Amino acid sequence: MRVDALFSSPEWWMIQSMKPSFAARRTSGFIFGLIFFWTFAAGSRLTAAEPKPEAVTAFNEYVAQVESRLEQQHHSATRFLAPEDAARLRAGEQIMEQVPLPSGTDLPGAMLHHWRGTAFAKGFTAAQFERMMKDFQAYPSFYAPQVAQAHVLAHRADGFQLLMRTRQEHVITVVLDMNLDIAFGQLDARHGYSVSRSTQISEIDSPGSDKERALNMKENHGFLWRLNTYWSYEEGDGGLYMQIETVSLSRSVPEALAWAIKPFVESVPKESLEFTLASTCDALRNSKAS
């Protein structure tokens, strides 16, 4: 849709004739901002097709810090949760948090997202969780509709190379093919972890049709450039504590629309993480029931 056509549409003028309150004007402005942004992103060939080298360097440096912390955590039997958090989790609560970024973490033309989610699955063991996480063929069942396909490309002693097709619906539908390098490790029979790093992410045009193709670097819209996922799990208190962290890199938001769009864009990683954590708990319960 052309921008001038959007302004001249009957729907736009109908909104203007309603003379909404200030709060309603902010809401309609937010919605219009989203429509404008995604229309621009989907139709423009001036989009940031790939991250700038400075953004990639900053992402890699941040990831190195995260992985250094997690390596220490994964090689220690000390519980990675505060006692009060463990009590909340055993009561059935899921804890979601956005990890604060260090000051000065401004990436040129890009946005860095870091979220952490934690849950407790009563009656399950670390061995059961690891078996489920390695059952890649079942991912389209475990994580539908976000995961459409999952195929193992290679298997080595400590991990896998996986091709996974994901589907996200937020105003528009985005289908991505992700090549992932996934490693598993254990401290002991009760403590384990996995590390997943994207090695390639391709945006798919016309998925499922005879016109399906991967967009080239000049065509893709930068919805997701990098995605690292880290699981930590610990068996104890009659169940399993599970914690997942995601660090991702996406295109930045136009400054003029940041007030309306940035909160929405930043909510996507959170919602995806909530879905993954809830679906994992459901998959464990369903595997036990069967």
User: What is the CATH number for 82?
Assistant: 3.30.530.20
Confidence of residue 32 (pLDDT cuts 50, 70, 90): very low
3-state secondary structure of 77: coil
At residue 20, the pLDDT reads 46
**Residues 8, 90 within the same domain:** no
**Residues 40, 179 within the same domain:** no
At residue 258, the pLDDT reads 61
Query: Alpha-carbon distance 278 to 272, whole Å?
Result: 10
Question: Is a pLDDT exceeding 60 seen at residue 109?
Answer: yes
Amino acid at 107: L
* Token representation of residue 170: 């937020």
Q: Domain span at residue 238?
A: 48-289
* CB-count burial class (<10 Å; 0-12, 13-18, 19+) for 257: middle
**Residues 196, 284 within the same domain:** yes
**Residues 121, 84 within the same domain:** yes
Number of other residues whose CB lies within 10 A of the CB of residue 170: 15
**In the chain, where do the E strands start and end?**
95-98, 110-122, 147-156, 159-170, 172-188, 191-205, 213-214, 226-236, 239-251
* Token representation of residue 99: 């990890």
How many CA atoms within 13 Å lie on the side-chain side of 165? 16
**Residues 191, 220 within the same domain:** yes
**Residues 111, 196 within the same domain:** yes
**Residues 12, 95 within the same domain:** no
Residue for token digits 């002693």?
Answer: 157
Question: Is a pLDDT exceeding 50 seen at residue 7?
Answer: no
Bin 148: left if φ > 0, else alpha if -120 < ψ < 50, else beta.
Answer: alpha
* Token representation of residue 132: 């489920």
**Residues 91, 149 within the same domain:** yes
**Residues 3, 105 within the same domain:** no
Query: Does residue 119 contact residue 92 with C-beta atoms inside 8 Å?
Result: no
pTM beyond cutoff 0.85: no
At residue 169, the pLDDT reads 82
Question: Considering its fold, how many domains does the chain have in total?
Answer: 2
**Residues 20, 125 within the same domain:** no
- Per residue in 43-85, pLDDT (tens digit) is 444 455 689 999 999 999 999 999 999 999 999 988 999 999 9
**Residues 145, 157 within the same domain:** yes
Non-local (6+) Cβ contacts of 242 within 8 A are 118, 119, 120, 121, 129, 231, 232, 233, 277, 280, 281
**Residues 161, 269 within the same domain:** yes
